[in-house]
A and B are shown apart, each in its own frame.
Chain A
């Protein structure tokens, strides 16, 4: 049984580090600003969003047919197509391919799906070295951490942190935190792996059913090196990555990088369709819960996600808590709706790690109703009994009080006075979450209800019920109409 993620606790640790949280917030907000400039620079942006959403919904609504078409065209192109029902099968397929060919080193360009399948530890336990080649992903690998963001995996680290990690692992100068120096150090370290690797692996941004093409969008070019230098290229593909036609790709290519980083396009948009001469190309199509999610009335829309990370960049909670605080492969708003589909109990806190502000839904290039799904998840988390005892009981009590005007009146008319009368030390203690970092509102002399009764005497107002400690003392027949 997996441990429940405690987002609030993990975020407290992140927030405690002023230089890191300030940088993290500023850097990601900077991406959001660049995204705004890029999006607002295209007159038809909102139409593009609607179109992208429609294409994805259409594809998901006819997914079986498009998968069969993709499988067929890819095989005709000479690609070997594998199907994996879950993470274990994915890992076994990849391992068999490597083991049969005696491969002991795999170079890899970032793929969240292989993180989701926990492929790296699986292969490493079987004697196969796996080297991440994306700069951010490599930093995280060398530091023994998960990616904290789907586009900028090491965004929570300062350059000085990277200098530390690299000094310990690849021998760069600990005192030199210049990003260009560090990137060059990583480049020099990684090149030999590309040349020595027996196989290369990439993810997949878009899989085109019409042509059997896998499209990979990167900024560093390492996906091309991973795919082209070793004799075998394995592409790991989530089945939701399908789009019908090559012409549909234009819509998504226009939106992906603009949404992610504010740049018009990624540096490299690589199309892989057939094995190169003398080489092998394998596609592994992975379900791993996606079919089940497709069958969920409220949550299948999350399969439209193109992994741009815009929802993370704009999320004020993500920017203050860091991706690692979400405790799963997918962080931020998209993680809050995807992770519970894998393990509701483990990720039951994530739908509550949101203020429901809705900015995520507004930036989403495929118009996923993220914050509405977060709201829906909360209802399910509570209905399935995954909220704590104290919260559950206090909500039951609140529901009973708020559903009964007399009990509510008593409480509202004593709350103000109670706050005014309590000693400060009682209010500002570690058990009072409000008072830890915020002052309480001053207590007014009377409620609005009392004011209204006193100042609008001609109106018919329910008489004020005298303050009583125990609401159960009321005779039941007194409840209801009292005017």
Chain B
């Protein structure tokens, strides 16, 4: 099984610890992971801005970097959503289609492909609020969405249940968007910040001391909001908890 690690641009630049945790976790689970060194970005910021043509070089490079792997795994749901559903500027050929189909978000890779449920090395004795990012929840199907009438399930909670000592605090609006939204957080700054403030207040009111997510971009935004509001919340990527981070 040839597995490639995709580390999105903002994680590479701002959150190397999340990338390291992802790599180490996959290695702990017995995966042999390649890191194609010429990778940059999936093209999501361009696609979401409507700049399809400007995304062509970036998306073509993505396909070149990750062609031929059985699985491409990334610790970022929204990037995987882009690759799978919106990566359309690269040439529409078999290679591109394979790359799109074989790209997995870390949680679904662990849950669906490896089928792992226990993380004996992991212990996280804190009250944790889960943030399902919107693309991950509603497009990748990480969990049941509150709007739909169907059975409840949650892949990230199923994984976190295998961590010792962890407790959960559920916000009153568990799958309300936090307002990050990619370039939305800049172009619609007033609404974005207000949504972020409401989100972190909701987590705080629910009694969470940590917010965990499979999407670091949402956490970056929420952390920025919580720090500005002076709320004592901390933020951590799910890969870090599953890899055994204590705090």
Contact between chains at A416 and B13 (CB < 8 Å): yes
Check if B111 is an interface residue, CB within 8 A of chain A. no
**B12 contacts A447, C-beta separation under 8 Å:** yes
The answer to whether A440 and B224 touch (CB under 8 A), given A45-B149, A402-B41, A403-B58, is yes
Partner of B187, one of A8, A398, A450: A8
Q: How far is the CB of B113 from chain A (nearest CB, A)?
A: 23
A437-B225, A444-B14 are contacts. A399–B55 as well, Cβ < 8 Å?
yes
A434→B190 contact, CB < 8 A = no
A50 to B245 CA separation, bound complex (whole angstroms): 45
Chain A stretch 329-385: residues in CB contact (< 8 A) with chain B: 351-359, 361-363, 375, 377-383
- Complex Cα distance, B140 from A175, in Å, reads 52
Task: Return B237 CB to nearest CB of chain A, in Å.
Answer: 13
A332 to B56, CA, bound (A): 31
**Which of B15, B37, B192, B194 makes the CB contact (< 8 A) with A460?**
B37
Q: Which residue of B lies closest to A8 (CB)?
A: B188
Query: Please, which residues of chain A bring their CB within 8 A of the CB of B45?
Result: 398
Does B181 count as interface, using CB distance less than 8 angstroms?
yes
CA distance A254 to B60 in the complex (A): 48
Which residue of the partner chain, among B38, B138, B149, B196, contacts A46 with CB atoms under 8 Å? B149
Bound: A43/B151 CA distance, A: 11
B191 touches A434 (CB 8 A): no
A76: CB under 8 A from chain B? no
Q: Specify which chain A residues have a CB less than 8 angstroms from the CB of B158 in the assembled complex.
A: none
Q: Which residue of A lies closest to B17 (CB)?
A: A444
Chain A CB within 8 A of B101 CB: no
Given A46-B148, A462-B38, A402 contacting B46 (CB threshold 8 A): yes
Is B156 an interface residue, CB under 8 A from the partner? no
Contact status B223-A352, CB under 8 Å: no
Main SS of the interface on chain A? helix
- The reply on A25 being an interface residue by CB < 8 A is yes
Give the bracket for the number of chain B residues in contact with chain A.
35 or more
Contacts known (A46-B148, A399-B58, A448-B19); A317 close to B191, Cβ less than 8 A: yes
* Chain B contacts for A449, CB-based, 8 A: 7, 12, 37
Interface hit among B92-100, B102-110, B171-179, B204-212: B171-179
Counting from the closest, the 8 A-B pairs by CB-CB distance are A403-B57, A355-B181, A438-B224, A382-B50, A399-B54, A378-B50, A357-B134, A362-B147
User: With contacts A359-B177, A402-B40 known, what are 18 further pairs, Cβ within 8 A?
Assistant: A8-B187, A8-B189, A39-B149, A43-B149, A317-B195, A354-B181, A355-B134, A355-B182, A357-B138, A387-B50, A391-B187, A399-B55, A399-B57, A400-B57, A433-B187, A446-B16, A448-B16, A461-B35
B residues lining the A interface (CB < 8 Å): 7, 9, 11-17, 19-20, 23, 35, 37-41, 43, 45-58, 60-61, 86, 134-135, 138-139, 145-150, 173, 175-177, 179-182, 184-198, 220-221, 223-225, 227-228
A interface residues with partner B (beta carbon < 8 Å) = 7-8, 11-12, 15, 21, 25, 29, 36, 39-40, 42-43, 45-46, 314, 316-317, 320-321, 351-359, 361-363, 375, 377-383, 387, 391-392, 395-396, 398-405, 408, 412, 415-416, 433-434, 436-441, 443-444, 446-452, 456, 459-462, 483
